[in-house]
Amino acid sequence: MGDTLHGRSEDGRKSELVTALARGLSVIEAFSADTPELTLSEVAQRTRLPPATARRALLTLQHLGYVGSYGKRFLLLPRVLGLGSAFLSSMNIREIAQSSLQAIADRFKDSASLAVLDGDSVLYVAHAPSNRRIRYNGSVGFRSPAYATSLGLALWAHLDPPQLEKRLAKAPYAAYTSRTRHTRAALEEAIASVRDRGYAVAREQLEYGVVAIAVPVRDTNGRVVAAINLSSELARNDEAALVATRLGPITDTAQEIERALERFPALSHAIGTAALAHD
């Protein structure tokens, strides 16, 4: 077929898609946290590419330093993280939100994060760390399963019904602790609670001893485009104490970030549509 695919844009002009690039990206996306290592045949199956084509794409990515191999298995190398970092840097979201996150993190000695949906995960785009030992302390570029985080529940609660259904239909998910809400019924109950209260609380969902509260961040049209949370330790705060002391301040912080985003409408649109790219 050659090196390009030909199509028509909405205005009727001919456009060109670089086939090799599209194939390379599809190969990268074949890998996941559940399948970090794949054989050639598994890559071909996941990407629906002919084995010979999948092999050429893998060898090219290996030559560029994005993919490594041992034996018959392939895996992504750390250089792939640079692709995500370039995206986050171009959005400049960290500079917009960082001071607000740092202020509330310092105030409560919790970790504070801003995240967007990325498929079935939440992607951390800004973060102010805690000096306390919390394992799932999401640094920029880190991903967590949306269903098991306060951030994810705050975002899922505002999805359109078809988008939410696609995610709920995948339940039951993996349970990280004995308290993880991973069944459809448990997640539907949690989402209904978020919609009713306006905030999400996650207690020991990913890690024992950790509790978090999250609220949505909206654009100028009222559409939820992101969420922020505070993660604390149950030894310092139970759920009731977390809500009593953090809900007002974290809501104020979300509004600060919303006002900052008003100056960058294109940025709000970009982060708000990130999750839809996977639907």
- Cβ proximity of 146 and 124 under 8 Å: no
Q: Do 69 and 133 reside in the same domain of the chain?
A: no
The residue assigned the tokens 């975002």 is: 155
Do residues 262 and 205 share a domain? Answer: yes
Last residue of a domain, one of 54, 76, 98: 76
228 burial (CB, 10 Å; 0-12 / 13-18 / 19+) is: buried
Ordered alpha helix ranges (H), 65-149: 81-91, 93-108
Indicate if 15 and 104 belong to the same structural domain: no
Specify whether 97 is located in the same domain as 27.
Answer: no
For the chain, how many residues are written?
279
CATH number at residue 161: 3.30.450.40
- Domain tally, the chain: 2
> Of 58, 76, 94, which residue sits at a domain end?
76
Statement to judge: residues 200 and 72 lie in one domain: no
pLDDT for res 96: 83
Q: How far is CA 108 from CA 60, 195, 254, 255, in A?
A: 48, 26, 16, 18
Residues 197 and 124 in one domain: yes
d(CA 47, CA 195): 37
Within this chain, do residues 72 and 90 fall inside the same structural domain, yes or no? no
Residue where a domain stops, chosen among 37, 55, 76: 76
pTM given for the model: 0.69
Per-10-residue mean pLDDT for the chain, 279 residues long? 40 56 90 86 95 95 90 85 63 80 95 91 90 63 93 97 96 97 98 98 96 95 93 94 98 95 71 54
Instruction: State the pLDDT at residue 216.
Output: 98
For residues 92 and 204, membership in a common domain is answered with yes
What pLDDT does residue 204 have? 97
Element (H, E) at 68: strand 67-70
Q: Are residues 35 and 139 in the same domain?
A: no
CATH no. for residue 51?
Answer: 1.10.10.10
Do 119 and 201 lie in one domain? The reply is: yes
Residue-number span of the structural domain to which 118 is assigned? 83-278
Place of tokens 């990268």: 28
| Same domain as 71, residue 8 | yes
